[in-house]
Amino acid sequence: MKRIATLLFLTCFFVQSKAQDTKPFGPVPSARQLQWHQMEFYIFTHFGPNTFTDLEWGKGTEPEDMFNPTALDCRQWCRVAKAAGAKGIIITAKHHDGFCLWPSKYSTHTVAQSKWRNGKGDVLKELSSACKEYNLKLGIYLSPWDRNHPKYGTDEYNEVFVNMMKEVVSRYGPLFEFWWDGANGEGPNGKKQIYDWHRFEQTMRTIAPNTPVFSDIGPDIRWVGNESGFAGKTNWNLLDTAGFSRGAGGPSTDTLNSGNENGKNWIPAECDVSIRPGWFYHSNEDDKVKTPEQLFELYLKSVGRGSALLLNVPPDRRGLINEHDSAALAGFRKLREESFKTNLAATARKEIFYDNALFTKQSFADGNLKTFEKNIDYKHTAYWLKFPAGQTVNCVVLYEAIQYGQRVSSFSIELLDGVNVLQKITGTTIGRKRIITFPSQKVTAVRFTVTGSKSPALISEIEAYNIDEKLVEN
Ligand code: FUL
């Protein structure tokens, strides 16, 4: 009788929670941010005069003719990006040296003044049409710091920057991301530019309302606080920005790395990192390209911590992605494909236990990220993947339904053999996606429990894998 009553209660409890409209909790992502969260992995291309001078920060005095790729082919960049499984490309349309890779009306330091293709070339045009051809999304990096523009350091420069944004958005959009770099190396005796950030932001909202904007502190995407490609193991998509400014006046790098648990704004972190030591191409770094295994580790520490991986792959002086880099990228793709090919949850017996009573509704492992379990009393709820015949497991992937806010603050994963707990792993945040790896264990069950949550936890998916042991994160 008691068991029947419990089952009846549970049926009402879950069915009711499904029928009810799920309410958002705290800050939630905007539509443009939600779209961006699906991007996961995309390519950064640092390209410009520095490619030819071997510098990282050009001075802005380089003659335009320095820019002269001998065999530029943006379709090749797209083929490499596509083969790597990347979903888009962000290009440095203008780096700190001020050189514009498109023929801007608002500068005399552009491709139009160079001898490359007799001043008729336009890298952005070529890349935007190649991206369309290969079904990749395009993003644009535009450095506010400009060491060339004569107006830099005066109020009129704000107008120039706004005009350039309008120019690139209208000519080469739609864009999946716009990148404002916070770097400035002018020093105490250099030019001081008071940026009109408010106007910049208003401009972007007006001309490209669906394009999320990156800077150290958003408005839509934040810097992760390092250029090594890793987000914090605790990674909140929330950030407090009041009192902070872009560049040197930003929050501490630790805060950027893990966000603010109770932050007032939804501003997720993006992990920008280069496949080589430098951001621009230098031939003496050809033997320092990261290996597929190193790239996989970066993937675990960025995408696998609820962030995104913006991997820089700088074209060389020919204007092509170098063979060293494309080989590493192909290897990286293969590792991801092999690792995540067989989701063991698909064939597991899936059960939810609420206060030790079995409940068989199982949308937490139905292969559909759109469905989720809502657990009002998460502390008494255990999600099970059962493998009665035994199964080797070393990776669990968790997803939270972030469209309703980020909620989970702690969880545990127990690996069981019969009734024996072989290993208990604890973690903090989940976010869009959390990949946990551990030394291989032969188990008969994996038990997942939310141990802390700001509001009923919404788990959309739990996956389990047996990846190559050497890829397990240390
Ligand atoms: C930094 C810049 O100074 C580097 O040159 C590079 O563009 C990197 C992505 O951002 O702030």
**Could you tell me the distance, in angstroms and rounded to a whole number, from the CA of residue 119 to the centre of ligand 1?**
27
Ligand 1 centroid to Cα of residue 392, in Å, is 42
What is the whole-number distance in angstroms between the Cα of residue 143 and the centre of ligand 1? 9
**Predicted local distance difference test score (pLDDT) of residue 248:** 84
The ligand 1 atom at the shortest distance from the C-alpha of residue 141 is 7
Residue 274 CA: which ligand 1 atom is closest? 9
Instruction: Pick the atom of ligand 1 nearest to 56's CA.
Output: 5
Per-residue confidence band for 6, with pLDDT thresholds at 50, 70 and 90: very low
Q: What is the mean pLDDT of residues 130-148?
A: 98
CA nearest ligand 1 atom 1, residue: 183
Pocket test for ligand 1, best of 181, 184, 222 (most atoms within 8 A of CB): 181
- Does the Cβ of 179 fall within 6 Å of ligand 1? no
Span 54-97, pLDDT tens digits: 999 999 999 999 999 999 999 999 999 999 999 999 999 999 99
The alpha carbon of 459 and the centre of ligand 1 are apart by a number of angstroms equal to 36
Give the pLDDT band (50/70/90) at residue 175: very high
CATH number of 31-339: 3.20.20.80
Range with the poorest average pLDDT among 7-16, 69-78, 284-293? 7-16
Residue 376's pLDDT band, with cuts at 50, 70 and 90, is low
pLDDT at 25 over 80: yes
Residue ranges covered by each domain of the chain? 31-339, 342-471
What is the pLDDT, as a whole number, of residue 13? 46
Q: pTM to 2 decimals? A: 0.95
Q: Supply the pLDDT for residue 16.
A: 34
Q: Which of 470, 308, 327 is nearest to 395 (CA)?
A: 470
Q: Check if 67 has its Cβ closer than 6 Å to any atom of ligand 1.
A: no
In whole numbers, what is the pLDDT of the chain averaged over residues? 94
Instruction: Say what percent of the chain tops pLDDT 90.
Output: 87
Residue identifier of the C-alpha nearest atom 10 of ligand 1: 181
Q: Which atom of ligand 1 is nearest to the CA of 143?
A: 7
Q: Quick check: CB of 183 below 6 Å from ligand 1? A: yes
Shortest-distance atom of ligand 1 to CA 185: 3
CATH architecture designation of domain 342-471: Sandwich (2.60)
How far, in Å, is the centroid of ligand 1 from the Cα of 159? 23
Ligand 1 lined by 279 (C-beta under 6 Å) = yes
Which atom of ligand 1 has the smallest separation from the CA of 46?
A: 7
pLDDT in tens, 338-362: 999 999 999 999 998 876 677 766 6
284-305 average pLDDT score: 98
- Closest protein CA for atom 4 of ligand 1: 279
Query: Does residue 97 have its Cβ closer than 6 Å to ligand 1?
Result: no
Binding site membership of 181 for ligand 1 (Cβ less than 6 Å) = yes
